[in-house]
Amino acid sequence: MRADDRATNFHDVIAAISAAEKTAGRAPGSVTLIAVSKTFGAQDIRPVLDAGHRDFGENKVQEAQGKWPALKAAYADVRLHLIGPLQSNKAKDAVALFDAIHSIDRPKIARAVADEMAKQARKLQLFVQVNTGEEPQKAGVMPREAAAFLAMCRDELKLEIAGLMCIPPVEEEPAVHFAFLEKLARETGVAGLSMGMSSDYETAIEFGATHVRIGSAIFGSR
């Protein structure tokens, strides 16, 4: 894919997000686009940075360390979102590089991130991932444990939780999962909703997504 294709794709996605906000009766700009650049190199990412975009998502700490320090130095105000599972031995590196983590899903990780934020005097935007499909191979806190886990993060670790995140099972109707996550967020007093990918982000916006994570619709297939 050529560089100008990526800029075109990016503008198309931005237009589709605006249209979906309008259709859903949502305020313009109420949805943050996270351009998911995993597996793509700096030369693929630059056209989207040059188009003025600043929120990007990566799913692996080590991969992000290979390309983002230089890009962050070259483009001011980049906000980097970790959207993949985090191991506690990577918490230090993750807190140093990322501005948001969407995959907080167990006490050990919450504690490691809280400790590192205190040590490094950095405050990241944190999302709790919920395994809404209760899939054994997938990360995320189980729905029935979500309220207790949120209480532990807030009361014990004094963490501010910006939102909930989910990845619906591929073979299921995503709307059901988006509606479930929205209800859970309402019940637990969480404001943000990180949900919706290339194939279903317009539906996610209809159900209240505040952050959509879009890779292939911008960068092409991986």
Ligand X SMILES: *Cc1c(COP(=O)(O)O)cnc(C)c1O
Q: By 3-state DSSP, what share of the chain in percent is helix, strand and coil, each rounded to 5?
A: 50, 15, 35
Q: Does 213 contact ligand X by CB under 6 A?
A: yes
Q: What is the dihedral of CA 83, 133, 18, 162, to 10 degrees?
A: -50
Which DSSP category does 49 fall into? H
Q: Which residues of 150-177 are buried (b: 16+ CB within 10 A; e: fewer)?
A: beebeeebebebbbbbbbbbeeeebeeb
- Closest approach of ligand X to the CB of residue 96, in Å: 21
SS3 128: strand
- Of 33, 36, 126, 162, the one binding ligand X (CB under 6 A) is 36
Cβ distance to ligand X smaller for residue 20 or 115: 20
Q: Does 59 contact ligand X by CB under 6 A?
A: yes
Q: Does 215 contact ligand X by CB under 6 A?
A: yes
What does the per-residue mask of binding to ligand X show for 110-139, with x meaning CB under 6 A?
------------------------------
Q: Does 104 contact ligand X by CB under 6 A?
A: no
80 and 64 Cβ atoms separated by less than 8 Å: yes
Can you say whether the dihedral through the CA atoms of 126, 116, 46, 73 is positive or negative?
positive
- Of 124, 150, 181, 214, the one binding ligand X (CB under 6 A) is 214
SS3 of 54-81: the string is CEEEECCHHHHHHHHHHHHHHCCCCEEE
What does the per-residue mask of binding to ligand X show for 162-191, with x meaning CB under 6 A?
-----x------------------------
Cβ distance to ligand X smaller for residue 23 or 199: 199
- Of 1, 111, 198, 220, the one binding ligand X (CB under 6 A) is 198
114 and 138 Cβ atoms separated by less than 8 Å: no
Residue nearest to ligand X (CB): 215
- Of 84, 140, 163, 168, the one binding ligand X (CB under 6 A) is 84
Applying CB under 6 A, which residues contact ligand X? 36, 38, 59, 83-84, 167, 197-199, 213-217
